[in-house]
Structure 1
Amino acid sequence: NCRGKIHFLLIFLSFGFSFLSAQTVVIKGNAPDYHGDKIVFYTFSDQITHLQEELGNCTVNETGDFLCTFFLDETRKIYTNLGVYNGYLYVEPGLTYEIKLPPKVEKTGAQLLNPYFTASEIHLGVVNYEKKELNYLIRTFNDAYDPVLNRYAFLIQAESEISDLDSMLNSFQKPYRDIQHSYFNSYKKFRLELLKHMTYTSKSVSMSKSACLGYEILYNNPAYMDLFNQIFYKFFNYLIRSRESDVISHNINTQQSITSLMETVGNTGMFSNDSLVELVILKGIYDELYSNTFSKDALLTVLDSLLQTTNITKNRKIAANIKYKVTKLMKGYTPPDFKLFTLDSVQIELNDLKGRYVYLNFCTPLNYTCLNHFEMLKRLFQNYHEYLNIVTILVCEDPEKARKFIEEKDYEWLFLCTDNRSKILREYDVKALPTYFLLDSEGKMIMSPALSPTENFEEYLKRLLASEGK
């Protein structure tokens, strides 16, 4: 997967040297409920695309003990998926955390098949905490802050007057006036700024008064980036509605020029440095790539230009992530590679399948629609296997049971196995089962998502083959 390797290279060049200054983080604990389970810790590569980046993993032993180590060069919020829970905590380089996991609750069959199921977020307990430890500070602050945020959100929605904001903000400051922890103080500052932001009556006012404008960019502080993402959401649309309406469209759709776009955004007078101008542009490009306001090709051209010209390492990483996330399943691009095992324990890579069209599908034996499609896929394989590789990625927890099922049904096409926690489901944006994709013989995406067997896929395939004289 050349595109994936280029993406990795860009990230490595951007951050490879920072690894030299990284320090070890140790996470340990005892959770007998989870014995035999693999626990994976990840963070977000950036706070705009929210691409997941694995930090480390470990397996819980028979007595319930687990220990995981990885390197960090700055404080991060990290996560781990634990069945119906999505646990998180804040970790600092060089520290050891003894954590307590929640009682194990696996997702039910219905939850596994429900594309709208969302795991409950839970702040993992730190056993070896002190009262000035970061997780303790953030947890106690949020316990007081979240109900107020919800109350104000309700009042604003009801268009009620908010008269006690200043006194409320002061009351949040008092318990933490002696705290010298810079990460926490920034977290607190921008959570409180969010309350102010909610009370502003117009986007122009909220942007002009934003604390983000006069503060260093805190790329990995979720309080800063949550506020940033809210304030500058659809920023290009804001410019279109303002005096810059013709200019911004000309910069992107006609000139396709990052230089001109930087000048237009910089001339708004809001921003004091190029780092923030670039970040706002990156946010704007990301938002508009999912709309029809601007040409997608033009946006990608501007993004490529920023990726190649920026001197700001973290902005380069965000640009690479945006391009990867947006194009990974686009027609004409190479989709994410994978290495999975057949039900007979043979490892298969996506690159191994070049030479024929690939009809890639994600299914589960627990789903009636999937079972119905299997019979149609069987006929497709019999009629078109000379030109078409059918590849079913089974989402299942019991490969042996799945293997027996396939043998009994005499299905002859390629089955690969993964579980519901697999990275590949995230990479292919699988929200529901079944999901289909069609790749050409060179491994490029043709249709994403592809027609299913019940949506006249066979007729489409016939036309495709006929156009090639087959």
Structure 2
Amino acid sequence: MQIFFMNKYNFILILILSIFTRAEAIETTIKGFIPGAENLEIRLMTYSDQITYTKEILEREIIDTNGYFFLTFDLKETIVSYLDIEFYSSGLFIEPGGTYEIVCDSVSITNQYRPFYQKQELAIEIIVEPEPGLNKLISEFNSSFNNFILENFDAVYKKRKRSLITSYEKEIKQKYSTVENEYFQNYITYKIASVDLAASSTKKPELFKKYFYKKRVLYNNTEYMNFFNQYFEQFLTAQTKSISRADLNAAINYQKSYTALTDTLGKDTLLRHEVIRELVLLKGLKELYYNPDYWQPYIIDILKQVSESSKFPEHRLIARNIIKSLTKLKKGTTSPEFKLLSLQGDSVSLSDLYDKPVYLSFITTWSYGCLAEMKLMTDLYSRYKGQINFITVFLDNNIDIVKKYVKEKGYEWTFLYNGNDYDLLKDYDIKTFPLFVLINNKGEIFQYPAYKPSEIIESSFKSLIDRK
């Protein structure tokens, strides 16, 4: 293996560059017209990080009665974002200080089925964006890149002809040589790098030198992070001369130490750079979590050490996001709080119901499976209502349909209406109906997803009641 050393002066230079390239946040605007989406919420989403691909909301607003919206927010760096309306979504690259104006064909969001888990493309047209037109440039390049792959798939991926990649890269760099946009130039470089990796899997040290050595980590560039994730996929479990399974086992399962683990990774000459090494460590811990050779609580402990002690704020955030993604809705974790309206118009908070364990269900009136489970719930409620709080949240679009259904059936437990609470769907990872959750009287997840009334939920009830 070829060795690449990074002396302290090179590291200091990169650290200084990373500090001074963190610009102040600048007000940025997106406005537009989306007929058919009147009075609905539009959310501007982006990735909190691109190791976990956790999404966060940058801004949200209710589209006015004429279909117009206006989003204003502060932005530090160029990012990829997503405009989400119900189950529609569209990607948009945005730059700090830019003003963007979009128009969209009429959308239809009258479907009461509300398939939250089936994203559909929101076909937008960008009619105003800052020069040089980053979205147009990326779209144009992606089209060229896809054509190159289609025409040369066998030669690149099977015969591994790197000369074709080199020629294409030279051609593209020449074509866009006058474009002074750092994000776009890096986007090109690292999208081509992913193909270079596929064609040069036995020459990884050479690729490391070309794409990572003495280069700043581009946390918000989608193609950089895509290449990073491909290059370091299962890096900790790969059998290398430098990092042994015994060393990993000792650092994680016995020492339970972030320091010991970074020292172990530092034995690999590719990971002498502190920033890269710690980022690889984070990605590796996420991958090792479900490996039976390593104890999950110790992995979480090490991630907590990174989240509290890392000198790099991006890594502290990534560590927190990994912990959340690995422990979300797991037994013993705090159930996500919410406040919704009952069918009578009263405000109800989940935490108000912890005088007893809670059997929480998410349903719709259009699903036969949901309605069948509700029939069976009647018997459970009559026998356990003194020991369990039964809460059903409807996810329909039309509250009048919900009220009519409950009245006709004569159900007596607590019913809530979700309306357009996107956060609730995200917090409980609702992708199928019905979904049941069992929560203890401390507000902790006891079972997710919980058994349905048609299954063996009573055994879970009894186990939970006995623990009170």
TM range (shorter): 0.7 to 0.9
Kindly indicate whether residue 419 of structure 2 is the aligned counterpart of residue 416 of structure 1: no
TM-score relative to the length of structure 2: 0.88
Match of 2:56 among 53, 56, 59: 53
* 1:119 alignment partner AA: Q
**1:33 partner SS:** coil
For 2:91, the equivalent position in structure 1 comes to 88
- Structural RMSD (CA): 2.7
Deviation digits for residues 341-390 of structure 1 (CA, Å, limit 9, x no counterpart): 22233222221121211112221111111101101112211111111111
**1:280 partner SS:** helix
Cα distance change, pair 396–212 in 1 and its aligned pair in 2 (3 A) = farther
Contact 2:38 2:66 in 1 (8 A): yes
Map of 1:174-193 to 2, 5 A cutoff? 174-193=174-193
Contact 2:329 2:448 in 1 (8 A): yes
Contact 1:200 1:206 in 2 (8 A): no
Deviation digits for residues 29-76 of structure 1 (CA, Å, limit 9, x no counterpart): 223332222211111111112222111122332333221111112211
* 1:382 alignment partner AA: S
Kindly indicate whether residue 139 of structure 2 is the aligned counterpart of residue 139 of structure 1: yes
For 1:279, the equivalent position in structure 2 comes to 279
Q: Which runs of 5+ in 1 are unaligned?
A: 1-17
Kindly indicate whether residue 223 of structure 2 is the aligned counterpart of residue 223 of structure 1: yes
Deviation digits for residues 54-105 of structure 1 (CA, Å, limit 9, x no counterpart): 1112233233322111111221111022456421111112121111224314
Cα distance change, pair 367–205 in 1 and its aligned pair in 2 (3 A) = farther
For 1:100, the equivalent position in structure 2 comes to 103
How far apart, CA to CA, are the structure 1 residues paired with 2:196 and 2:106?
38
TM-score relative to the length of structure 1: 0.87
Contact 2:50 2:225 in 1 (8 A): yes
* 1:444 alignment partner AA: E
Cα distance change, pair 448–258 in 1 and its aligned pair in 2 (3 A) = same
Map of 1:151-300 to 2, 5 A cutoff? 159-162=158-161, 164-202=164-202, 208=208, 211-239=211-239, 243-300=243-300
Deviation of 1:208 after TM superposition, in Å, equals: 4.1
Higher helix share: 1
Deviation of 1:118 after TM superposition, in Å, equals: 4.3
Cα distance change, pair 20–108 in 1 and its aligned pair in 2 (3 A) = same
Cα distance change, pair 79–153 in 1 and its aligned pair in 2 (3 A) = farther
Match of 2:38 among 35, 39, 42: 35
How far apart, CA to CA, are the structure 2 residues paired with 1:19 and 1:191?
24
The farther-off stretch of 335-344 and 447-456 is 335-344
The farther-off stretch of 83-92 and 400-409 is 83-92
**2:201 partner SS:** coil
Deviation of 1:126 after TM superposition, in Å, equals: 1.8
Deviation of 1:184 after TM superposition, in Å, equals: 1.2
Aligned residues: 447
For 2:313, the equivalent position in structure 1 comes to 313
Cα distance change, pair 306–156 in 1 and its aligned pair in 2 (3 A) = same
Contact 2:98 2:129 in 1 (8 A): no
Cα distance change, pair 206–346 in 1 and its aligned pair in 2 (3 A) = farther
Cα distance change, pair 409–206 in 1 and its aligned pair in 2 (3 A) = farther
How far apart, CA to CA, are the structure 2 residues paired with 1:280 and 1:260?
15
For 1:76, the equivalent position in structure 2 comes to 79
How far apart, CA to CA, are the structure 1 residues paired with 2:153 and 2:114?
30
Percent of aligned pairs with the same amino acid: 28
How far apart, CA to CA, are the structure 2 residues paired with 1:251 and 1:133?
48
* 2:367 alignment partner AA: N
The farther-off stretch of 454-463 and 100-109 is 100-109
How far apart, CA to CA, are the structure 2 residues paired with 1:247 and 1:121?
49
Map of 1:99-138 to 2, 5 A cutoff? 99-106=102-109, 112=115, 117-120=118-121, 124-129=124-129, 132-138=132-138
Cα distance change, pair 337–154 in 1 and its aligned pair in 2 (3 A) = farther
**1:334 partner SS:** coil
How far apart, CA to CA, are the structure 2 residues paired with 1:433 and 1:415?
16
Contact 2:26 2:74 in 1 (8 A): yes
For 2:70, the equivalent position in structure 1 comes to 67
Contact 1:49 1:321 in 2 (8 A): yes
How far apart, CA to CA, are the structure 2 residues paired with 1:205 and 1:54?
38
Cα distance change, pair 55–130 in 1 and its aligned pair in 2 (3 A) = closer
**1:236 partner SS:** coil
Deviation digits for residues 289-348 of structure 1 (CA, Å, limit 9, x no counterpart): 244342111110111111121111111111111112222211111022222222233222
How far apart, CA to CA, are the structure 2 residues paired with 1:416 and 1:215?
52
**2:442 partner SS:** coil
* 1:78 alignment partner AA: S
Contact 2:37 2:67 in 1 (8 A): yes
Contact 1:235 1:284 in 2 (8 A): yes
